[in-house]
Structure 1
Amino acid sequence: MTVQDRPLKGAWGITALVFLFMLINFADKVVVGLAAKPIMEELKLTPDQFGLLGSSFFFLFAVAGVVGGFLANRVQTRHMLFGMAIIWSLVQFPIMMSATFQTLLVCRILLGAGEGPAGPVAVHALYKWFPDSLRGVPTAIVAQGSALGVIVAVPALNFIIVNYSWHWAFGALGIVGLLWAGLWLIFGREGTLVDPPVHGAADGGEHVSYRHLLSCPSIVAACCAAFASYWGLALGLTWFTAYLVDGLGYSQTMGGNLFILPWLFGMTVVLTGGWYSQRLKKSGVSSRISRGIFPAATVILGGCILPFIAVTTDPGIKVALLVIGSAIGSTIYVVTPMIVSELTPHGQRAAMLAIVTSIYTSAGVIAPWAMGRIIQEATSRQAGYEHGFVILGGLLIVGGLIGLLFIRPEADKQRLAARLGAVPTATPSPLRP
């Protein structure tokens, strides 16, 4: 089998469309957190209730992600991406027309179900256009659809919230989603690149037990590091603007504008980190270093920064520490799908990407609600927020250490091959420690 050494023709055009897909995906996620203060005031919600609303998005997110991943092994990804975009769009309109706590709750649960498979299916679709050695940059670009979705959408959504109402912000997102679906219907195509066998099956029809894949130390460790990092992302989606407005005293306009800072910084981190990880890999450095030690160390660094939020008294420094600490480990989102892809046969990749994504994004079910409970029981709103951020710092340190110690793709590839009685197609790099 000839190994593809360059992207397929049209790969970067598809990357651009998938990038826009993920941009809309994350704009949908942030709107509740952006409108936290007016929603809580109009609907008279306690922090506990608003935390439940933030968590509700993730109630069916993981289950739908796993189902969608297995489905993507059999159904063309171009059909699945189109269907998801339609679902996202339609669930926004009931909120615009009739907003109650119950309506919001139901629509956010349905939105989460529709968006659950989005990330893994988008990555699986993209990997049908790029070979393994060239996936770092396109994966980072698509991952940054999330950050740019926030950076582009937040000023517009905040303008709508301040000058019209938060109800109309949801309607605007529904319209944009339908526009993307139209573009994808016209220009979206399915890639034809099939990866060579991972574990040496001559006919390419290899199959590894999902039990063995899900107990693989590299995959487990990547999930732990990504889970801790996603805990911080879920807090940011739900509580960042509320912390600025309710905890630090910023206005809704200023708080909404500052909301883009962690995403702007995170976009820089992910693009740079994805490029650097790919550069290391292409130059012969092992996955142990390029996809393990390097990103895990940045997760640990973020955890070391966050506890200082509770020490300083300057609001500007608090915001800076929160932005840097919560986003500096974001490269873990780029390398996790590459680790999974490196160890998983092509025919099982979509399902494994979905399962792994569902595992680490399950942090979103717990984090917003847990923060709401902490805030409600604290002596002051500001103290409650900052206690939650200190807990996040501890989680990042623990998750990063697990990744640092146990992400070893070359060794795990050998171990999985031994279970099959096969010889791996690629030997470990001599640079592997």
Structure 2
Amino acid sequence: MNAEAKTATTHPSPAATLGRGNRYRWGIGGLLAAGAFVNYIDRVNISIAATPLSESLHLSPGELGLLLSAYLWTYTVLQLPIGYLIDRIGVPWVMRIAVALWTVSSFVTAISGGLGLLLVSRLLLGIGEAPAWPASWKAMGYWFPARERGRCISLLDASSRASNVLGLPVMAYVVSVFGWQSAFVLTGVVSLAYTIAFWVIYRNPAEARRAAKLSAAEHEYILEGGAQQETSPSESPWSNVSYLLRRRKTWGLAIGYASYVYVYYLLLSWLPSYLEKSQGMSVLSSGIYSVVPWLVAVIAELAIAGWLMDHLIRRGFDPTKTRRAFLVLSMVGALGVAGTVTTHDIVAVMVYLSIGAAGLAVNAPTGQSIITLIAPRGSVASLGGIVNGAANLLGLTAPIVTGLVVEATGSFAGAFVIAGIVTAIGILSYVVVLGRIEQIPEPSQSLARPNRASTVL
């Protein structure tokens, strides 16, 4: 039996080890999950507002694609420096400033009267949201033992998808009744509430322990379970980034995760417009129908990535083989989005989209949990920044490419075929490049004992 499985067997569940009063970490997990929900509400609002907004401003599909992708420009460019910044000064202050920027961005969008200010507001949103996932992954690494990593990251990622389930119909109703600007006023208010909550509640475990919010028993449980230590990297952070960029595991995970992000951003940005154009739906109807694949995705993520994967590992299944199987099979499921090109029947379209969205939903937390498992000590945010940066560099092209394909062909078929090809490349990266899912040696250890399997040759 492997070491991780032995550890899981020794501690079969949190409930078996701790009393009811030792669940503070899950409150922090809930706070981070709420942030993911708000984070994606701030992204998805423009996909619902896209049609009335573009009609109001007379935007072509290509111009709309640029607007839909604008926040990703700053978001992607900042991933490497943000990972460095989080590893140096910590999660709390970076995220406190970031969530405040989400709020400002939403209100600026609401008062925009032209394409120029809209682009500025979306660029500002990208700056504010850039730290969200690297900081959340780092916080999860601090707050949760390895045996609970799959569940807590699934909670985080499922919350981002729940924003589609709850947000799309609400935003569709608000836009239909009050106009497209109202969607951004609503998300601005929600973002402001979360900003206040994060500033008041979030602390790292050591600080929470000193404030007597975290019990000694729960803190010990977290640390003994393999949580990341609250220490800075032993090497210069930029040296760590350079070191990580030369690791084969980094690129195996980054390319695979990038394929997920591309397809996900295609659906996130264009799904309502696709249903409006291909099925002749109204804004409200497209918002309601868009809920279906995202609801299936949330259920699949919580049941499969959130429970089944951790359950199998606790029962003694090899962690590397289990996680790799989940990575690959989930991406095979994601190929379902390409099936939409074979039919115009709305039921069949919903089935294909639901299979694809479920595959994406299972893949995301699996890949994210691997970041926290393979990162060297003190480098979770740096590795997360690299992986997320590379992924979003490809992902930001999805709204643009889709818009250009639709403008050139009058159809979404070519865009979904491209998504299928990108997914296949991701599967190959997970199978061929990633290798064993184990911690990348620290630079000093790598020099002492070179690990050829994890180095880009």
TM bracket (short chain): 0.7 to 0.9
CA distance in 2 between counterparts of 1:413 and 1:67 reads 21
1:161 aligns with 175
Structure with greater helix share of residues:
2
Q: How does 1:5-404 map to 2 (within 5 A)?
A: 9-192=23-206, 207=235, 209-271=240-302, 272-303=304-335, 305-378=336-409, 381=410, 384-404=411-431
Letter in 2 for 1:329: L
Return the alpha-carbon distance in structure 1 between the equivalents of residues 233 and 95 of structure 2.
26
1:419 aligns with 446
List per-residue Cα deviations over 1:323-377 (Å, max 9, x = no partner): 3224413322212232222222231111111221111122232110111110111
CA RMSD of aligned residues (A): 2.8
CA gap of 1:326–1:388, structure 2 versus 1, over 3 A, is farther
Bigger mean CA deviation after superposition, 86-95 or 214-223: 214-223
Distance 2:127 2:255 in 1: 23
Q: Classify 1:85/1:103 alpha carbon distance in 2 versus 1 (closer, same or farther; 3 Å).
A: same
| Distance in 1 separating the partners of 2:392 and 2:167 | 22
Report if aligned partners of 2:79, 2:389 keep a CA contact under 8 Å in 1: yes
- Structure 2 distance, partners of 1:299, 1:416, is 32
In structure 2, relative to structure 1, the CA distance for the partners of 1:251 and 1:205 (3 Å cut) is closer
Change (3 A) 1:188 1:407: same
Match of 2:211 in 1: none
The CA deviation at 1:318 is 1.8
Q: 1:31 to 1:223 in 2, by over 3 A?
A: same
Match of 2:432 among 402, 405, 417: 405
1:1-43 superposed Cα distances (whole Å, 9 cap, x missing partner): xx99669751011111111111000001101111121111111
Distance, in Å, in 2 between the alignment partners of 1:294 and 1:90 is: 38
Give, in whole Å, the separation in 2 of the partners of 1:334 and 1:146. Answer: 11
Structure 1 residues 214-248: Cα deviation after superposition (integer angstroms, max 9, x where no partner): 33333322222211111111111211100111222
Residue segments in structure 1 that go unaligned for 5+ positions in a row: 425-433
SS state at 1:409 partner:
coil
Task: Name the residue aligned to 1:431.
Answer: none
| 1:299 positional shift | 0.2
Letter in 1 for 2:329: A
Tell me how far apart the structure 2 counterparts of residues 342 and 267 of structure 1 sit (CA, whole Å): 23
Deviation at 1:155, TM superposition (A): 2.1
CA distance in 1, matches of 2:240, 2:225: 15
Give, in whole Å, the separation in 2 of the partners of 1:185 and 1:204.
Answer: 23
Distance 2:149 2:186 in 1: 33
For the Cα contact (< 8 Å) 2:37–2:159, is it kept in 1? yes
Q: Which deviates the most, 211-220 or 291-300?
A: 211-220
Amino acid corresponding to residue 300 of structure 1 in structure 2: V
Cα 1:416–1:267 change in 2 (3 A) is farther
The secondary structure found in structure 1 opposite 2:396 is helix
- Check conservation: 1:195, 1:346, Cα contact below 8 A: no
- Asked if the contact 1:121/1:350 (under 8 Å) is kept, the reply is yes
Asked if the contact 1:235–1:368 (Cα under 8 Å) also holds between the matched residues in 2, the reply is yes
Worse-superposed segment, 400-409 or 413-422: 413-422
8 A contact 1:86–1:181 mirrored in 2: yes
Q: Against the structure 1 CA distance between its residues 369 and 204, is the aligned structure 2 distance closer, same or farther, given a 3 Å change threshold? A: closer
Q: Secondary structure at the match of 1:13?
A: helix
Give the distance between the partners of 2:439 and 2:99, measured in 1 at CA. 36
Structure 1 position 204, deviation (Å) = 10
Contact 2:293 2:357 in 1 (8 A): yes
Instruction: Check whether the contact 1:206–1:345 (CA below 8 A) recurs between aligned residues.
Output: no
User: SS of the counterpart of 2:187?
Assistant: helix
Asked if the contact 1:61/1:116 (under 8 Å) is kept, the reply is yes
Q: Distance in 2 between matches of 1:254 and 1:144?
A: 23
Q: Is the 8 A contact 1:417 1:423 kept in 2?
A: no
Do the aligned residues in 2 keep the contact of 1:62 with 1:116 (CA within 8 Å)? yes
Query: Separation in 1 of the partners of 2:385 and 2:232?
Result: 22
Matching residue's letter, 1:277: M
Counterpart in the other structure of 2:214: none
1:44-87: per-residue Cα shift (whole Å, max 9, x none)? 11000000111111111122222222111122312222211110
The share of aligned pairs that are identical, in percent, is: 23
* CA shift for structure 1 position 147: 0.9
Partners of 1:195 and 1:374 in 2: how far apart?
Answer: 50
| Deviation at residue 422 of structure 1 after TM alignment | 5.5
Q: Which moved more, 1:52-61 or 1:340-349?
A: 340-349
Amino acid at match of 2:119: L
Shift in alpha-carbon separation, 1:392–1:164, aligned structure 2, 3 A: same
Measured against aligned partners, the alpha-carbon deviations of 1:145-178 in whole angstroms (never above 9, x if no partner) come to 2111222222221111000011011011111111
Paired with 1:204 and 1:38, the residues of 2 have a C-alpha distance of 48
- Opposite residue 434 of structure 2, the aligned amino acid is I
Helix, strand or coil at the partner of 1:362: helix
Change (3 A) 1:386 1:313: same
8 Å Cα contact 1:293/1:403 also seen in 2: no
> What is the one-letter code of the residue matched to 1:403?
Y
Structure 2 unaligned blocks of 5 or more: 1-6, 207-218, 452-457
The ranges of structure 1 where at least 4 consecutive aligned residues each deviate by more than 4 angstroms after the TM superposition are 3-9, 193-198, 203-209, 410-418
Distance 1:318 1:197 in 2: 44
Give, as a single letter, the amino acid of the residue that structure 2 aligns with 1:71. L
What is the count of residue pairs matched by the alignment?
414
What residue is the counterpart of 1:428 in the other structure?
Answer: none
